[in-house]
Chains A and B, each alone.
Chain A
Amino acid sequence: MLAFTLRRAIQAIGVMIAVGVIAFSMFRFAGDPVNQIVSLDTPAAEREAVRKSLGLDDPVPVQFARYFANAAQFKFGVSYQFRQPVSTLLMERMPATLELAACATVFAMVLGILMGVYSALRRDTFLTKIFQAVSLIGISLPTFLIGILMIYLFSVTLGWLPSFGRGDVVRIGWWTTGLLTLSGLKALIMPSITLGLFQMTLIMRLVRAEMLEVLRTDYIRFARARGLTTRAVHFGHALKNTLVPVITVAGLQFGSVIAFAIITETVFQWPGMGLLFVQAVQNVDIPIMAAYLLMVSLIFVTINLVVDILYTIVDPRLRSTISRPA
C-alpha cells in the first residue's frame, strides 16, 4: 500500500517535471519576447534594459533553474501582454473558472443521475427516447455551437439572460463570487449548462448502464424477495451502488471541465483562466501559456493521484493487482 502510494507519487512528480520542461522549452522556442513588448521604433538601449529587467540575458541553464524554482513558488514571470505578474492574473481569474466548473459539475451530476435513473427504470418510454436524443446531441454538437445557440435564444431573441461576463460579483477576501448577486446568478446559468452538457451526457449514460447491470444482480432480487418497496430497492440499493463509479468519473472529469472551460469562457466572454489562456495563445504570450499548462497539469495530476489512492483504500481487491489498466 505504502509502496504503491509512493510509486504513484513519484510518477506524478515525474509527470510534473516533464510538463515543466515542455513549459520552459516554449520560452526557448519563442523567438525574442522583447520584440513582443517594445514597439518597432524603440531604441536599442531601451530594448536591452527591458531584456535585462526580464532576465533574458542569462545563460539557458540559469534561466531554466530559475524558472523551476520560481514555478514551485507559483511565480510564473510577467505577462508580455499585460505587463503584470502572471500569478496575479491567474489568481484574479481563478475564482471565476472554479465557480463555473463547480456549477457545471453540480448541474451535470444532478441532471445526469436523474435522467440516467429514469431511462434505466423506464426503458421504452417516450421521455427515455428524448433523453437519449439529448445525449446524442450532447456528444455530437460542439460546445461552442451549443453556447451560440443558447445566446441566440435566451439573450438575442428572448432577452432573458446576459450573453457575456459574470454580472456583479461580491469580493470575499481574495475570492470573488457571483453566487450572491442576482445578476451574477443569471450570468452563471447559460455558461454552466453549456459547460456541463457533455459531462451530463457522460454521467447519464454511465448511470443508465450501471443501473441496468445492478438491477440484474442477486442482491436486488433478494431485496425484492424480502418484500421491500420498489422505491427502496431502486433508490436505497440499486442507485447507491451505482454512485461509486459515478462519483469517480465526475471527480476525474473535474479536470477536463476546467480545461473545457476554455471554450465556454470564450463563447460567453467569461473572465476566467481559460479566456486568459486563449488570449495568450492568440497573442503568443508564453508566460501565461506556460503557467496555465503547469496549473492545469497540477490539477490533473493531483486529482488522478488522489483517485488512485482512494481506490486502493475503498476497493481492497485492487491492492493485490496493483498495476491498474487505467
Chain B
Amino acid sequence: MSDAVVPHRIEPSAQTSRSGRNWLKRALDSDIFYSFRRSRMTMVAAAVTILFFLLAIFASQLAVQNPFDPAQLQLMNSRISPLWTADGQSPFLLGTDEQGRDVFSAILYGLRISLVVGVLGVIFAGALGITLGLIAGYVGGAVDGLIMRIADVQLTFPAILIALIVNGVAKSVFGNRLDAMSTLAVLVVAIGLSFWVQYARTVRGSVMVEKNKDYVAAAQLIGLPAPKIIFRHVLPNTMGPILVIATINLALAIITEATLSFLGAGMPDTMPSLGTLIRIGNNYLFAGEWWIVAFPGIALAGLILSINLLGDWLRDALNPKLR
C-alpha cells in the first residue's frame, strides 16, 4: 500500500515469479506496517476482527448444533442459563433461547449472516459509488452535475431511513413473504444504495486531480480508450481513501443491517443475523433471561468497535499529513 502514490507499477513478467517474497518483505518494511506495530490498540482490534471472521467462516464446525435445523432443536433444552451459572448445562456454553437453540451456535451463524450482508453491502456500495464517481469525475459537465446533485440530495437523508424505505418498497413489490435468501439480497441492495455517496464523492475528487496529471495525458495520447484509462490507470491511484471508507462503511453496514433486523425489517427468525437475535432476545429481558440478548449484543458491539478502531487507524496511517 505504501506505493499508492506511484502512478502505475511496471512489473516485467520475468520478475513476477520472485515478487511473492518481495511483496511480503516490502509489506513488512512499509510505513503502514510500522504504524500498525506501534499501536497496540490497533493490533488487538485487528486480532479481534480476524477472530470474528474466523468464527463466522468455521461456524458450522464450531457450533454444537445447527440453529437453522428445527430437527436439532429440542424444547426440553429451552431457556437454559449460561454454563457458569447454577442452572447451566453442558454443552450450552452461553445458554439457550426459548426454542432450545444454543445461544453460542446462534451467534456464530448470526455473525456469518451479519458479516455476509455487511461485506456484500460494502462491495455493492463501493462498486456503485466508485463507478459513478469515476464517470462523474472523468466525464464532467452535465453528467457530473446530475450525479453529484443526486448524491447531495441523498446525503441529507440518513442511511437508515433510505434502507428502511428500500426495504419497505421491496416488501411491497415482492409481497410480504420473501424467503430468507431474497431478504438477504434486499438488505444488501438497501445498504448499497444508502452508502454509495461517500465513495462517489471521494473518487470524483481524486479523479479530478488525477486526470490533469501527465500519465493520463500520456495514456490519452497513445490512444487508450477512456474506460481503460479510468479503470486501469486512474482508479488504482484513488484506492487509499477508498480503503478507509470501505473499512468504516463495513462497521456502518453491519450496524444498519442489525438495526433493520432489530426493527423487524431485516433477516427473518428462521435465518437470524445478530440484529434478529437481539430482537428475539429483547422479548425475554423482563423474564430475567438476559443471556439471550446480552451475548449477541456483546458480539455485535465488539465486532463494530474493533472494525471502527481499524478504520480509524487506517485513516491516520494513510494520511500523508499525519506521518
Contact = CB atoms under 8 A, between A and B. Distances in A.
Contacts of B297: 145, 148-149
Interface string A72-83: 000000000000
Nearest to B175: A31
A29 B278 contact: no
A148 B297 CA distance: 9
Interface string B255-266: 100110011110
B27 interface: no
Contact of A282 (B173, B265, B286): B265
B153 interface: yes
A326 B265 contact: no
A281 interface: yes
A298 to B, nearest CB: 12
A259 B169 contact: no
Given A26-B168, A145-B278, A278-B265, A18 B153 contact: yes
Contacts of A284: 168, 171-172, 176
Contact of B157 (A141, A259, A286): A259
Interface residues of B, number: 39
A262 B167 CA distance: 15
B189 to A, nearest CB: 15
A260 B168 contact: no
A30 interface: yes
B259 A142 contact: yes
Nearest to A279: B264
Given A148-B282, A148-B285, A281 B308 contact: no
A141 B297 CA distance: 9
A276 B168 CA distance: 13
Interface in B167-185: 167-169, 171-173, 175-176
B290 interface: yes
Given A144-B259, A289-B165, A30 B172 contact: yes
A111 B122 CA distance: 33
A42 to B, nearest CB: 18
A137 to B, nearest CB: 8
A293 B165 contact: yes
A281 B297 CA distance: 24
A140 B252 CA distance: 9
Contacts of B176: 283-284
A164 to B, nearest CB: 10
Contact of B161 (A140, A262, A282): A262
A266 interface: yes
A152 B290 contact: yes
Given A151-B285, A255-B156, A259-B158, A26 B265 contact: no
Contacts of B288: 156
A225 B293 CA distance: 58
Interface in B259-315: 259, 262-265, 278, 282, 285-286, 288, 290, 293, 297, 300-301, 304-305, 308
Interface string A239-255: 00000000000000001
Given A144-B278, A259-B158, A296-B161, A30 B173 contact: yes
The interface centre, meaning the residue of B172, B175, B265, B290 with most chain A CB atoms within 10 A of its CB, is B172
Interface string A119-159: 00000000000000000110111111100110110001000
Interface in B222-267: 251, 255, 258-259, 262-265
Contacts of A22: 165
The interface centre, meaning the residue of A29, A142, A262 with most chain B CB atoms within 10 A of its CB, is A142
Nearest to B251: A140
Interface in B151-205: 152-153, 155-158, 160-161, 164-165, 167-169, 171-173, 175-176
Interface string B93-116: 000000000000000000000000
25 contacts: A22-B165, A30-B172, A31-B172, A31-B173, A136-B308, A141-B305, A142-B300, A145-B300, A148-B293, A163-B286, A255-B156, A259-B160, A260-B158, A260-B160, A262-B164, A263-B160, A263-B259, A267-B282, A278-B164, A278-B263, A278-B264, A284-B168, A284-B171, A301-B156, A326-B155
Given A30-B173, A137-B305, 6 more contacts: A31-B173, A141-B301, A148-B278, A149-B297, A277-B164, A289-B165
Query: 10 closest Cβ contacts across the A-B interface?
Result: A30-B172, A281-B168, A140-B305, A259-B161, A29-B173, A259-B158, A144-B262, A142-B255, A284-B172, A256-B158
Interface of A: 15, 18, 22, 26, 29-31, 136-137, 139-145, 148-149, 151-152, 156, 163, 255-256, 259-260, 262-263, 266-267, 277-278, 280-284, 286, 289, 293, 296-297, 300-301, 304, 326
